Chains A and B, each alone.
Chain A
Amino acid sequence: MAKKGRIVRISGPVVEAKLPDAKLYDVVHVGEAGLLGEIIKIVGDISVIQVYEDTSGLKPGEEAASTGEPLSVELGPGLLESIYDGIQRPLKVIEEKSQGAYIARGIVVNALDRKKKWDFKATAKKGDKIKAGDIIGTVQETELIEHRIMSPVEGKIESIKSGKYTIEDVVATVASHKGKKEQVKLYQKWFVRKSRPVIEKFPPNIPLVTGQRIIDTFFPIAKGGTACIPGPFGSGKTVTQQSLAKYSDTRIVVYIGCGERGNEMTEVLKEFPHLEDPNTGKPLMQRTVLIANTSNMPVAAREASIYTGVTIAEYFRDMGYDVALMADSTSRWAEAMREIGGRLEEMPGEEGYPAYLARRLAEFYERAGRVRCQSSRERYGSVSIIGAVSPPGGDLSEPVSQNTLRVTKVFLALDAPLAYRRHFPAINWLKSYSLYPDNLEDWFTKNVSSDFLDQVNTSMSLLQKEAELEEVVQLVGPDALPEKEQAILLITKMLREDFLQQNAFSDVDARCEMDKQYEMLKTILQFHEKTKDALDLGIQLKRIQELPEIGKIGRMKEMADVKDVKNLQKEIGSSFDSLSKG
């Protein structure tokens, strides 16, 4: 139902138009070029529209046509392996339509391929009574992922048939209680700004194993949890986010490049199809949906990109999958809100950000969670949200960081000084925190070891001790410390360089399994215990420092087999034995 009106004012991405019967958040096609926009404010008969494309050349008096529907995403087979802009237009199709490397204006494309035929296998049958959210069949979307088709309606199935269908074909008809016949297709639409319903949310109690030692061991993220990664530029936010996207043990990854660099997105695009899923060896792209709205693409679409991404994530969650959503960077999203707020001449809050910034951030992170999915059968899924924050000048007192910290449970503080000395991931172990270890304790005890958390606490207190000692060293030099304390510095150096540092570019080290993480930490702590004992026996620290095992601990990272790490523990035992024998 298109309702037409006329443009009266243009100011950058904000356009005012006289539109009859306008509703907030309805999508509007603006001007002769048909630029896509969304109504964000209504004053009398004037609708204020934020336009997702460059408005140069647009004139007052040109037509504006409302679609009468809010901005929505298409959810169905074909999402995986796709790369979209902020409003779910596939960039590959845009390339074909623009006939060049640039994104032309006014291009209207479908988010999902209308021609491709999918092999639909019905799992429900005629006569079944179903509720909204029930799975009626499956499509093997990629080798890795089975796409579960959920009925958006409730009622009794009147017909359903397996076969090859396009997403527009009707695969089932459902008679609703009111006697209406509803057609079910392979895809459905959902409004981006509204979260998808669930039956219940649960506290997260399974870790999201990322393969990154500092995260999994020291600051674990839970499946269905939230984490934020703030840091100044050059501290490795994007590399960390990408490592998480590559190596996390989730079934689906949604990666939003929100207002970031074009070349970086290209790198992701080139790299992901060649990377292997750690569990199956299939290309990583088969479980990934990418959303790329680079910094120079229209700012209004950047604002929408976060919602597009999280809605897609929720859809896969509803199928019963664990989904990880990476948003890089939420600061750019907040800036988009600020820019649009400024154009609307809204009264600004702190640092020019709109007063609703805190609410929007909280709403976004609240869409994470481990849930019982909406369905008559029991089914569980989760969305974990990991958001990067880019605070100006690395100063965390600014509004976006502060409001994010209030709602996220894991804080991974990236640190410029660590990055300068090429300590990667440059996560500062003294500033970061995770509020999940208590929830995850049972899982760690059952799946890793009962002394896992004890080890973590011991290591952490050593690292804290190191920070204190460093202050003394600054004043008097390292040689003035007693040998016992010098020994602590030797161990913490191992913890920092041989455990916390991880090489994202090494084949072996880029992903580290939980059991190896545990054994590596155990080895270092064993060395610590043995050193303490040896010093008590009167053995000089110098002799311990000459042990060849120190070098071998440095090479643990590159050991592909956990057995080698365990063997090293034996070696350490025997060489300390021979030290004490004389």
Chain B
Amino acid sequence: MKEYKTVTEIAGPLVFVSDVSGVGYNEIVEIMTPDGEKRKGQVLDVGHNVAVVQVFGSTTGIGTEKTIVRFLGETMKLGLSPEMLGRVFNGLGEPRDKGPRIIPKEKIDITGLPINPYSRESPNEFIQTGVSTIDGTNTLVRGQKLPLFSGAGLPHNQLAVQIARQAKVLGTGEKFAVVFAAIGITHEEASFFMKDFEKTGALENAVLFLNLADDPSVERIITPRLALTTAEYLAYEQDMHVLTLITDMTNYCEALREISSARQEVPGRRGYPGYMYTDLSMIYERAGRVKGSKGSVTQIPVLTMPGDDKTHPIPDLTGYITEGQILLSRDIHRKNIYPPVDVLPSLSRLMNAGIGDEKTREDHKGVSDQLYAAYATGRDLRSLSAVVGEEALSATDRKYLQLADEFEKQFVQQGSYENREIEKTLSIGWDLLSILPEEELKRVKQKHIDRYLRKKE
């Protein structure tokens, strides 16, 4: 261990230490302020005898004199143990729930190594979330990363909790765990999650990492990595199926930008660093299944789109990495529909691998495609009828209009404690399709029409 008292410059979250030797890149640092407070940090750049240290927490109280910097000679690691289940930690992985310290069985680097694409198993097991707009039209599968794109004031947290509560794989009794990472959310939001986990008994199978809004923003870089290291440990070492909820990724990216600007880096779009895509991918890509392990890591990151703008760099880069997105819409929310999922721009890229005969039901893909196409047509007609009036539409077009309305009321709308079986979701789908004349149903197979549509009459 090496100690230095040679702090030469402090700028925002960065501390420059001179005359160092033998310091490694990404090494962990302990800083003692003159008042005896202890902070942690990480080496961002080292060379020409100067180390640039990024401090987790505030740099208040750190001075150029009397501050001691200790280089620990190892990169950031997290002590892991199955005992972590049921526990609450802060954003740096220290217990927050007054419980005892964790005695680690293993210490693992939190950055994580990239998974060899050759060693991955392709995700293809259907997860039933009990939410029709997900199960029916944007199916989630084990090992997928499917973010919720939301906006400020929309009920994304409620939906995230509902998914965590209801998610299950049909017909199996395997070990299941939730890892929850809160990044820069308010105390109020955090206690909403805690209460819900406690109330439903989910807490005993959950690990919580909380970095709240008033916690240092630099910690936010660490929190999701701690959560994912834990998730990987539980999945690949303990054979559990882990659902990882991360909220809110927008706060993470803000922290990234803050550090980047403190380092005086060349900014990319809207001031976010040019490496944000790579950085985000190192979080999102830690979802999946690997050969030789029964477990899986499924990720549901939540992000709030600044100004509800899907082309903002945060949702944009996320969408390029994740396997689809569930988009919440303010318009639908205003109609008092919960969950306010706008299915048209929503997408699950792995859906086709997880549905169909023996997984959900043979008609699933057809029903989903038909609902999509019909709802899209109905939505277009809605704006048309606003101009020309409903009477000017043809009889068939009026049916489409009716379908779009009913789709939102019956299919999208459900209670926050309503857990719909996939059979139920699909039969609502067929009810809606029965509004249309049969020859309009081009996306569903005739035999499925015979089997499922006629039954209704």
| Cα(A554)–Cα(B440), bound, Å | 11
CB within 8 Å of A: which B84-128 residues? 109, 111-123
Contacts of A94 on B, CB cut-off 8 Å? 116, 118
A478 at the interface (CB under 8 A from B): yes
A54 at the interface (CB under 8 A from B): yes
A415 to chain B, nearest CB (A): 13
Q: A59-B25, A103-B116 are in contact. Are A392 and B269 (CB under 8 A)?
A: yes
Pairwise interchain contact A91-B118, C-beta atoms closer than 8 A = yes
B130 at the interface (CB under 8 A from A): no
Contacts of B275 on A, CB cut-off 8 Å? 12, 299, 339, 342
B153 at the interface (CB under 8 A from A): no
A114 to chain B, nearest CB (A): 20
| Cα(A264)–Cα(B373), bound, Å | 25
B267 at the interface (CB under 8 A from A): yes
| Cα(A54)–Cα(B24), bound, Å | 12
Pairwise interchain contact B116-A60, C-beta atoms closer than 8 A = no
A-contacting 9-mer, from B5-13, B319-327, B423-431: B319-327
Pairwise interchain contact B48-A9, C-beta atoms closer than 8 A = yes
| Cα(A476)–Cα(B443), bound, Å | 29
Contacts of B273 on A, CB cut-off 8 Å? 342
CB closest residue in chain A, given B267:
A352
Pairwise interchain contact B278-A9, C-beta atoms closer than 8 A = no
B350 at the interface (CB under 8 A from A): yes
Pairwise interchain contact B285-A262, C-beta atoms closer than 8 A = yes
Q: A60-B46, A475-B388 are in contact. Are A393 and B316 (CB under 8 A)?
A: yes
| Cα(A480)–Cα(B394), bound, Å | 11
Pairwise interchain contact B320-A233, C-beta atoms closer than 8 A = yes
| Cα(A342)–Cα(B275), bound, Å | 9
Contacts of B377 on A, CB cut-off 8 Å? 421
| Cα(A501)–Cα(B227), bound, Å | 43
Contacts of B319 on A, CB cut-off 8 Å? 232-234
Pairwise interchain contact B118-A59, C-beta atoms closer than 8 A = no
| Cα(A339)–Cα(B290), bound, Å | 29
Pairwise interchain contact B143-A477, C-beta atoms closer than 8 A = no
Pairwise interchain contact A297-B114, C-beta atoms closer than 8 A = yes
| Cα(A262)–Cα(B345), bound, Å | 23
Among candidates A269, A296, A395, residue contacting B285 with C-beta atoms closer than 8 Å = A296
Q: A234-B319, A261-B285 are in contact. Are A295 and B118 (CB under 8 A)?
A: no
CB within 8 Å of A: which B255-269 residues? 265-269
A213 at the interface (CB under 8 A from B): no
B301 at the interface (CB under 8 A from A): no
Contacts of B22 on A, CB cut-off 8 Å? 59-61
CB within 8 Å of B: which A252-301 residues? 257, 259, 261-267, 269-270, 292, 294-299
| Cα(A338)–Cα(B265), bound, Å | 12
B4 at the interface (CB under 8 A from A): no
CB closest residue in chain B, given A348:
B266
CB within 8 Å of A: which B183-214 residues? none
Pairwise interchain contact B114-A416, C-beta atoms closer than 8 A = no
Pairwise interchain contact B21-A11, C-beta atoms closer than 8 A = no
Pairwise interchain contact A393-B311, C-beta atoms closer than 8 A = yes
Pairwise interchain contact B278-A339, C-beta atoms closer than 8 A = yes
Among candidates A263, A392, A477, residue contacting B388 with C-beta atoms closer than 8 Å = A477
A101 at the interface (CB under 8 A from B): yes
CB within 8 Å of A: which B341-359 residues? 344-345, 347, 349-350, 352-353
B176 at the interface (CB under 8 A from A): no
A332 at the interface (CB under 8 A from B): yes
| Cα(A254)–Cα(B291), bound, Å | 25
CB closest residue in chain A, given B236:
A101
Q: A10-B47, A56-B111 are in contact. Are A233 and B24 (CB under 8 A)?
A: no
Pairwise interchain contact A59-B114, C-beta atoms closer than 8 A = no
B387 at the interface (CB under 8 A from A): yes
B288 at the interface (CB under 8 A from A): yes
A16 at the interface (CB under 8 A from B): yes
Among candidates A55, A61, A233, A393, residue contacting B25 with C-beta atoms closer than 8 Å = A55
A509 to chain B, nearest CB (A): 13
Pairwise interchain contact A420-B344, C-beta atoms closer than 8 A = yes
A335 at the interface (CB under 8 A from B): yes
Contacts of A232 on B, CB cut-off 8 Å? 319
Contacts of B287 on A, CB cut-off 8 Å? 263
Q: Per-residue CB proximity of A404-444 to B under 8 Å, as 1/0?
A: 00000000000010011110000000000000000000000
Among candidates A295, A352, A422, A474, residue contacting B373 with C-beta atoms closer than 8 Å = A422
CB closest residue in chain A, given B143:
A263
CB closest residue in chain B, given A498:
B442
Contacts of A420 on B, CB cut-off 8 Å? 344-345, 372, 376
Pairwise interchain contact B384-A294, C-beta atoms closer than 8 A = no
A152 to chain B, nearest CB (A): 31
Among candidates A59, A91, A100, A102, residue contacting B24 with C-beta atoms closer than 8 Å = A59
Contacts of B269 on A, CB cut-off 8 Å? 351-352, 392
Contacts of A490 on B, CB cut-off 8 Å? none
Q: A101-B290, A395-B311 are in contact. Are A352 and B274 (CB under 8 A)?
A: yes
| Cα(A476)–Cα(B392), bound, Å | 8
B439 at the interface (CB under 8 A from A): yes
Pairwise interchain contact B325-A234, C-beta atoms closer than 8 A = yes
Contacts of A169 on B, CB cut-off 8 Å? none
Pairwise interchain contact A262-B373, C-beta atoms closer than 8 A = no
Pairwise interchain contact B118-A269, C-beta atoms closer than 8 A = yes
| Cα(A102)–Cα(B109), bound, Å | 13
CB closest residue in chain B, given A93:
B118
A387 to chain B, nearest CB (A): 15
| Cα(A477)–Cα(B380), bound, Å | 12
B310 at the interface (CB under 8 A from A): yes
A390 at the interface (CB under 8 A from B): yes
B455 to chain A, nearest CB (A): 23
Pairwise interchain contact B274-A338, C-beta atoms closer than 8 A = yes
A478 to chain B, nearest CB (A): 7
Among candidates A9, A102, A336, A339, residue contacting B114 with C-beta atoms closer than 8 Å = A102
| Cα(A232)–Cα(B345), bound, Å | 11
Q: Per-residue CB proximity of A542-578 to B under 8 Å, as 1/0?
A: 0000000001001000000000000000000000000
| Cα(A11)–Cα(B392), bound, Å | 66
Pairwise interchain contact B274-A101, C-beta atoms closer than 8 A = no
Pairwise interchain contact B316-A262, C-beta atoms closer than 8 A = no
Q: Per-residue CB proximity of A97-123 to B under 8 Å, as 1/0?
A: 010111111000000000000000000
B413 at the interface (CB under 8 A from A): no
| Cα(A104)–Cα(B116), bound, Å | 9
Pairwise interchain contact A342-B265, C-beta atoms closer than 8 A = yes
CB within 8 Å of A: which B271-289 residues? 273-275, 277-278, 281-282, 285-288
Contacts of B111 on A, CB cut-off 8 Å? 54, 56
| Cα(A421)–Cα(B324), bound, Å | 15
B397 to chain A, nearest CB (A): 8
| Cα(A479)–Cα(B388), bound, Å | 11
20 contacts between A and B (CB under 8 A): A58-B24, A58-B25, A101-B291, A102-B115, A234-B349, A262-B114, A263-B143, A263-B144, A263-B350, A270-B122, A292-B117, A297-B114, A298-B114, A299-B278, A336-B278, A339-B274, A351-B269, A352-B268, A392-B313, A421-B372
* Seed contacts A83-B118, A266-B121, A339-B274; 10 additional CB < 8 Å A-B pairs: A58-B24, A60-B47, A92-B118, A95-B116, A103-B113, A261-B323, A295-B277, A421-B344, A480-B392, A551-B439
**For the complex of A and B, 6 pairs with smallest distance between CB atoms:** A9-B47, A393-B311, A295-B281, A101-B290, A477-B392, A56-B26
Point out residues on B near A: beta carbons under 8 Å. Answer: 21-27, 44-49, 74-75, 109, 111-123, 143-144, 236, 265-269, 273-275, 277-278, 281-282, 285-288, 290-293, 310-313, 316-317, 319-321, 323-325, 344-345, 347, 349-350, 352-353, 365, 369, 372-373, 376-377, 384, 387-388, 392-394, 397, 439, 442-443
